[in-house]
Amino acid sequence: MFDALKERLDGIFKNLRSKGKLTEEDVALALREVRRALLEADVHYKVVKDLVERIRERAVGRDVLDSITPSQQVVTIVFEELRDLMGRDVVPLVISPKPPTHYMLVGLQGSGKTTSCVKIARRLLKGHKPLVVACDHQRPAAVEQLRVLAAQAKVAFFGPEPGEKDPVGVAERALRFAADRLHDVILFDTAGRLHVDEPLMEELQAMKALLSPHEILLVVDGMTGQEAVNVASAFNERLGLTGVVLTKLDGDARGGSALAIRSVTGVPIKMAGVGEHLEDMEPFDGGRMVQRILG
């Protein structure tokens, strides 16, 4: 991911680096290019505007322009601001000191929610006894998919009885099932829809009320660009998200969504899906991601 953005920024920085003394005009020109590159990478325009303004304020100070290496300093400022926007550190998934820990995975259909649920559970097998619970009862195929993936990953599975339509009821039974078998992390795969809609949000709020989850993780398709930010905002307003799982980062996503989700919603991106296999999930590292963008 980020290849397009990286290419553009590389060009800008090469120009800057080759200059010794910088003028305010040089900085303005470079920032115009930074702005264009970020917009092309699908970063939300408001995020870009604020970011460029912050960079400008820091970069045109005399201490930068009059320094021995002004262009290097501007490059550093751009790096630092992008890194802050992306989140400086890896933000780990919460494990409650008092088990069981409850995770709710939410998101639109096709975002990679079910796959991510199993991928995260699989990572927890080291040191924990996770259980995945199918709460997407609109689509029997989704229940079956979770069952199959869980079996592949050797993760315990709990699902509805045939014909059972009440996800909150299933979640309640899952809690008893987990208590009997000493599962310490329970991951609830909730229903996804093609669009954010009222019945979906009400169902998710009812589940939240039952579970008091330690994490409400929104799974977002990293390929969806600015739309990802709108989806994240809508879910966050109604549910209060604790983290985002950004999927399909192995594709040629322009990646602007990663930069923007954090700054628009304030919710940290915690995990990154980087492939179709069940082991293709890793903690999201904002600093490393920016390093990769800027080269």
Annotated binding site for GTP: 107-114, 189-193, 247-250
User: Looking only at residues 250 through 289 of this chain, which bind ligand GDP when binding is defined by CB under 6 A?
Assistant: 250-251, 273-276, 280
d(CA 99, CA 103): 12
The residue range among 45-53, 173-181, 223-231, 245-253 that interacts with ligand GDP, by the rule CB under 6 A, is 245-253
d(CA 188, CA 245): 14
Cβ pair 84, 290 in contact under 8 A:
no
Cα-to-chain-centroid distance, residue 249: 10
Least separation in angstroms between residue 176's CB and ligand GDP is 25
The residue range among 9-17, 113-121, 126-134, 170-178 that interacts with ligand GDP, by the rule CB under 6 A, is 113-121
Q: Can you name the residues that pair with 106 across neighbouring β-strands?
A: 218
Least separation in angstroms between residue 108's CB and ligand GDP is 7
d(CA 103, CA 105): 6
What are the E-state strand segments in the chain? 101-106, 130-135, 156-158, 185-190, 215-221, 243-247, 269-273, 281-283
Q: Does 224 bind ligand GDP (CB under 6 A)?
A: no
Least separation in angstroms between residue 283's CB and ligand GDP is 14
The residue range among 15-23, 90-98, 110-118, 230-238 that interacts with ligand GDP, by the rule CB under 6 A, is 110-118
Least separation in angstroms between residue 153's CB and ligand GDP is 13
Q: Which residue is nearest to ligand GDP (CB)?
A: 273
d(CA 245, CA 223): 13
The residue range among 39-47, 87-95, 106-114, 235-243 that interacts with ligand GDP, by the rule CB under 6 A, is 106-114
**Pattern 143-182, binding to ligand GDP, x per CB under 6 A?**
--x-------------------------------------
DSSP annotation string for 145-205: HHHHHHHHHT-EEE-PPTT---HHHHHHHHHHHHHHHT--EEEEEE---SS--HHHHHHHH
**Encoded tokens for 210:** 């039952």
Cβ pair 31, 55 in contact under 8 A:
yes
Residue 139 or 173 having the CB closest to ligand GDP: 139
Count of chain residues binding ligand GDP (CB under 6 A): 19
Q: Among 110, 199, 240, 295, indicate the residue that binds ligand GDP (CB under 6 A).
A: 110
Residue 145 or 226 having the CB closest to ligand GDP: 145
Least separation in angstroms between residue 207's CB and ligand GDP is 16
Contacts of 225 (CB under 8 A, 6+ apart): 42, 253, 254, 256, 257
Number of H helices, E strands in the chain: 12, 8
Q: Among 35, 44, 113, 123, indicate the residue that binds ligand GDP (CB under 6 A).
A: 113
Q: Which residues bind ligand GDP (CB under 6 A)?
A: 107, 109-115, 145, 192, 247-248, 250-251, 273-276, 280
